[in-house]
Amino acid sequence: MIKKVLSTLLLLPVVAQAQSAQMADALRDNGKFYVVVATIVIVMAGILGYLLYLDRKAANKKR
């Protein structure tokens, strides 16, 4: 039982990496890869902007 669980846990990253490589290839072939990257960049920029806004707001309250 323990051997089965350990072997599954050890093989899980290998399977996940192979699946993500296939998914990336499929997205790149369909031209949707850049849409995904652009969406991630926009979301991360929004989060960063919001954190900077909160930081400035908190710094002004301390004065």
Give the tens place of pLDDT for each residue, 5-55: 555 555 556 555 556 667 777 777 888 888 888 999 999 999 999 999 999
- Do residue 40 and residue 24 come from a single domain? no
Q: Do 18 and 37 fall into the same domain?
A: no
Number of structural domains in the chain: 2
pTM as predicted? 0.56
Runs of H (alpha helix) within the chain: 2-30, 33-62
Same domain, 57 and 37: yes
Residue 22: the pLDDT is: 76
Asked if residues 27 and 33 have their Cβ atoms less than 8 Å apart, the reply is: yes
Are 24 and 38 members of one domain? no
